[in-house]
Amino acid sequence: MRACRRCERELPRGALHFRFVLALEGEAEVIDAPAVLAADPEALLRELEAVEPDELEAQIHEDISGVLCPACRAALRAFLHVARPLQ
Ligand SMILES: [Zn+2]
């Protein structure tokens, strides 16, 4: 049976629920930073090679998806400061 991603309450067939897809994209202004531009490119490559690929990917991109019950939808909206009234 389908369950709310946040509160894990079961959502019976036909119950109102909300599907969501959240993409978290990491950003940093490292390319424009003068320190990086002035850095030794080989040293920068060695640093990047030392980072685990999974760790690096998690820092850059993460997808989270699932379904929410109406109460958890409201909680997510409040958390994100969504101002538009619910319909
Ligand atoms: Zn819920």
Residue 25 near residue 61 (C-beta atoms within 8 A): yes
Neighbouring residues of 67: CB distance < 8 A, sequence distance ≥ 6: 2, 3, 4, 5, 11, 17, 18, 19, 20
Beta bridge pairs of residue 22 = 64
Segments of the chain scoring below 50 in pLDDT? none
* Torsion sign (Cα): 26, 31, 35, 39: positive
What's the confidence (pLDDT) of residue 47? Answer: 74
Query: Ligand 1: distance of its center to the CA of 50 in Å?
Result: 40
Q: What is the pTM of this model?
A: 0.64
What's the confidence (pLDDT) of residue 23? Answer: 93
Query: Ligand 1: distance of its center to the CA of 17 in Å?
Result: 9
> Would you state the structure tokens that stand for residue 47, as one six-digit string?
């640093």
What's the confidence (pLDDT) of residue 32? Answer: 53
What's the confidence (pLDDT) of residue 49? Answer: 79
